[in-house]
Structure 1
């Protein structure tokens, strides 16, 4: 999908006009101000497409995140736009075909956030399996009466099967950490990994096969329209009774009503969720459950990672300006 033509981006070497839709880290924003005639969404509110177009109408470069929707109508309303740089690995919020047709380059931030996301995935997994929310609440409330043999019994990890749905860079980083906890790693991908990448993980050719084998399901698949709602009531029922689900990917891959029902019925023991459909409007049913550990989409939220993501976009834009193909270019 990547265009070989870079001639349209020579103007990016001339301190192009840019609009920053969300606040980046101070170090990255300082670097952007040095390189661009930069306008900033100072209050950091999520901009609907119409407002984004109004503010960025003259921009040649648009910096976005996964919270901004860039479909064909919005791209058509930005006639000066030469490049979109998204502070995310996922790109389902951008119409790549429309961007390519308009001659707009799209850059993203692969690789540099895998470790940070894998760390949060393990945090979610541990808190879901070991009832972290309930334990914290018990101590903070002052209701804890001391140690008891059957208090807050959770799921041990040694020997359990962790099924990873999506064994890309983040999935493999999760697998590396999971092995240290004694988990057996299984996975489902569109295709089997090379042995050097699989590192002994067991491959399932179908998602249904992975679900049936899993004590813990880790959702790490990339967001895509075809995967919306893929984990519905029927598929959640394939998991072993008392299984745990963790989602570090995209909220809309999971049917909220089905997951909440499975958690209430005991079909699932617990869940750990960092992502949600319709963020930040989280389904209210989750707030009523003690067996769900929730975090506000913080998978890549370390200073080091967000700096690295920002610099990857800057380096990619500078490559475009120099007539080179950036390694992080999508189209």
Structure 2
């Protein structure tokens, strides 16, 4: 029997995923949960045939050219802004990701953040926990009733469409959106507008579902936030660098927007103290796909991408420049 390909998994994954991977590969699973350092990644790329990386693992143009052995990067996650795909291809490597598996789980978290922020749930729960709640009265914690309001979606891909579906059919919300290319069918009645600012101005709640990376860095800055309604809510389940965090903090502090619901941050896991101190923001620790069956499905998809590569088959979810 030929030697199995040597594959390095950069973080612990669900047992079912690792059991499946062990059937196909000579597997090494790193025990630590934090991203690798650049030097660690360089050593891995020189020693293993394939790598199963994930968010934050350093796979930029300063690391990939030194890859002596690895020929495939099967990313765990749909987002791959931590991988320089062009540099990987130049080094003779194939890159893949795990789309589809993350769609519904991420959309659910977007709706959770929308409701938490609109109904001031984080602020109210904190009062219950610290004992400062003084009992019910008619004007306590008055928030925004989202039913019948307008949802703005920035990035009408799989996740954007799933968010729109939940909000339109669940809460009777009208939907407007911005997308760089024309989207003919959103799955719900929706109007495509010509700019991000137009969507920000038209919507009561704006949800971001665009990829991270240089092309979309600070897509939402001071000008876009200034376009929002005073009661408007911004929800980000995309990538932290899509939003200019300093501009968002300023808008929240001044009250020029109503609130924000965030699952991602510009310099994770660092969350600015100024953001944590605000009452009009809901903060989650990147929970987008944090459900066992979802993470298992993602992992199995990454394993299948690896299996197909080493079998000489077309990689199902290959990413190209």
- TM-score, normalised to structure 1's length? 0.92
The answer on whether the counterparts of 2:24 and 2:307 sit within 8 Å (CA) in structure 1 is no
Which of the residues 266, 290, 301 maps onto 1:301?
Answer: 290
State how far apart, in whole Å, the 2-side matches of 1:134 and 1:299 are. Answer: 21
Please state how far the C-alpha of 1:56 moved relative to its aligned partner.
Answer: 4.6
Residue number among 163, 169, 177 corresponding to 2:152 in the alignment? 163
Inter-partner Cα distance in structure 2 for 1:229 and 1:316: 32
Quote the residue 1:8 is aligned against.
none
- The answer to whether the 8 A contact 2:61-2:87 is kept is yes
- Aligned match for 2:231, one of 225, 231, 242: 242
CA distance, structure 2, for counterparts of residue 94 and residue 45 of structure 1: 16
- Map 1:177-196; keep pairs closer than 5 Å: 177-179=166-168, 180-195=170-185
Distance 1:98 1:51 in 2: 18
Match of 1:3 in 2: none
- Unaligned stretches of 5+ in structure 2? none
Task: Show the counterpart of 1:77.
Answer: 66
* CA–CA distance in structure 1, aligned partners of residues 6 and 308 of structure 2: 17
Determine if the alignment matches structure 1 residue 233 to structure 2 residue 222: yes
1:267 maps to which of 235, 256, 264: 256
User: TM-score, normalised on structure 2?
Assistant: 0.95
Query: 2 CA distance for matches of 1:42 and 1:327?
Result: 28
Structure 1 runs not aligned, ≥5 long: 1-12
- Contact 1:211-1:217 at 8 Å conserved across structures: yes
User: Retained in 2: the 8 A contact 1:85–1:107?
Assistant: yes
Give the match's secondary structure for 1:18: strand
Partner of 1:221: 210
- Alignment equivalent of 2:130, drawn from 141, 151, 158: 141
Pairwise CA distance, 1:146: 1.8
Q: Distance in 1 between matches of 2:192 and 2:45?
A: 46
Query: Shift of residue 54 of structure 1?
Result: 2.4
Q: How many corresponding residue pairs?
A: 318
Please list the CA deviations of residues 240-268 of structure 1 after superposition, one character each: whole Å capped at 9, or x if unmatched.
11211100001011111111111111111
How far apart, in 1, do the equivalents of 2:160 and 2:318 lie?
Answer: 22
Q: Structure 1 residue 121 and structure 2 residue 113: aligned?
A: no
State the Cα RMSD in Å. 1.4
